[in-house]
Amino acid sequence: MSLNYAFGFSLFLLILVALNIYFFYSLNTTGKRGSMYNVPGIKLDLAPSVFKDIYDHLNYLPSQYKIKNPKFIPIQKNLVKSFNSSGLNNTKNVWQNTENWVSEESLFPHGDGVPGRILREMQTSQIALVDNAPKGTQMKLLLLIQEKQKLYFKPKRYQLSDVIHGNIYAGFDRHNSEVFAYYLAMVMNFKWIIPSVIRRVHVAKDVVPVATLGLKKTMIRNESGSFCIYGKCFYCKVNETVCPDRNGEIEGAAILYLDKQFKVHKSPWRRSYNSKKMDWEKDNDFCKKVMGILSLKRILNLIDVSIFDFLIQNGDRHRYEVYKNKIVLLDNGKGLGNPMIDELDILAPLYQCCMISLSTWQHLEILSGGHLTETIKLLSSFQGEILATEEHFKAVERRLLKIYATIQYCIGKHGSAKVFKTA
């Protein structure tokens, strides 16, 4: 009898404890669910657990990533000095020693106000000759300035406020994305990129008198008699011309032509450009495979590039060019398509390998709180450029937070000693 009573009492206690545990458990989880971040455009069929983990870290991002870091101020001052070309006279010829421009650090000189002067020359120098650029998929002209300096010219195809719908690589190149990318790289301290600036050319005055015969063959007069260009390239079509604006001008991105041999490689994280899934989209251990093929240095470089591409949403880097064993950030025209979308899978190299070069991280970390886009606006203002709408600037800041969250996710998973690399 007393044994039976004791058994009954312990059963009662057990149930009480179980209820308690359940109560606290449900309290905890509902608390978390309540603050769940709502994200448009994440693909739940693709690596859903990684994306969910990253977004969880985004919800609990330490506050230091949301405020300006004073350590960036001296760096910003130096950038301003390099790009502030107002008050400088044209007395010194910037093109004098171009053959000595490339160093181990960068593709062109950075000190002494030279970057600003290069851009101004690219923007204003008289054009001696215009031709179709020899190859490529999208319309590009080649301008000759100052006797021997060449520029690529990618014409404007969209208004800044146009939103590109469809897949991540849809549409024509965006000329502003090319130029935005250049300033972004400068602010991120990625020096393996080529100077690029917004330039306007007057078709009747600057182009027609110095156009090659080949270019003239790809120009047609439209019904109102203006000269329009359809160019010569893989996707160029007679019905897809670029025509001058009200002032007779065509706006475009002028990109310095570097007469160097780049080695071309296929990116391990390239897209299939059809419905077929690539290895990296199916295999969460894909990075291990890449580790067996590429050096750590190259992988860290690819991770840097993925961070850069994620910020502008360039999902079209199926191949990459290398010079002096470093990836050159060429062809950045597929960014800034839709400010409402953040395709997280552009960051696959980062969240699949979960490592980042320590120097990249130390610089990235101090760009928080608005410094990144504020500096891009400031530097481009010296050439009178407006490179994107406010929505795009906001999107870049939002994506920066997602990069921080991805790093936090990696630290949580592997520990910081494994994430930060000094190679």
Ligand X SMILES: *[C@@H]1O[C@H](CO)[C@@H](O)[C@H](O)[C@H]1NC(C)=O
138 is in an annotated binding site: yes
Instruction: For residue 279, state whether it binds ligand X (rule: CB under 6 A).
Output: no
Residue 316 is among the residues annotated as catalytic for this protein: yes
Instruction: For residue 226, state whether it binds ligand X (rule: CB under 6 A).
Output: yes
Q: Specify the residue, 172 or 308, whose C-beta has the smaller distance to ligand X.
A: 172
342 is in an annotated binding site: no
Residues touching ligand X, count (CB under 6 A): 15
Which residue out of 53, 304, 309, 316 is catalytically annotated?
316
257 is in an annotated binding site: yes
- Under rule CB under 6 A, which residues in 236-255 are in contact with ligand X? 237, 239-240, 243-244
Q: Specify the residue, 226 or 359, whose C-beta has the smaller distance to ligand X.
A: 226
Instruction: For residue 112, state whether it binds ligand X (rule: CB under 6 A).
Output: no
Segment contacting ligand X by CB under 6 A, of 175-183, 220-228, 300-308, 393-401: 220-228
Q: Which of 4, 89, 159, 247 binds ligand X (CB under 6 A)?
A: 89
Q: How far is the CB of 237 from ligand X (least distance, A)?
A: 5
Instruction: For residue 92, state whether it binds ligand X (rule: CB under 6 A).
Output: no
Segment contacting ligand X by CB under 6 A, of 82-90, 116-124, 127-135, 171-179: 82-90
Q: How far is the CB of 30 from ligand X (least distance, A)?
A: 51
Instruction: For residue 210, state whether it binds ligand X (rule: CB under 6 A).
Output: no
Q: How far is the CB of 109 from ligand X (least distance, A)?
A: 18
Q: Which of 74, 87, 166, 292 binds ligand X (CB under 6 A)?
A: 87
Contact call for residues 401 and 370 (beta carbons, < 8 A): no
Q: Which of 80, 168, 210, 220 binds ligand X (CB under 6 A)?
A: 80
Segment contacting ligand X by CB under 6 A, of 83-91, 158-166, 340-348, 369-377: 83-91
Which residue has tokens 């790289």? 185
Q: Which residues are annotated as a binding site for ATP?
A: 138, 154, 255-258, 321, 331
Q: Which residues bind ligand X (CB under 6 A)?
A: 80, 84, 86-89, 222-224, 226, 237, 239-240, 243-244
Active site residues: 316
Q: Which residues are annotated as a binding site?
A: 138, 154, 173, 255-258, 321, 331
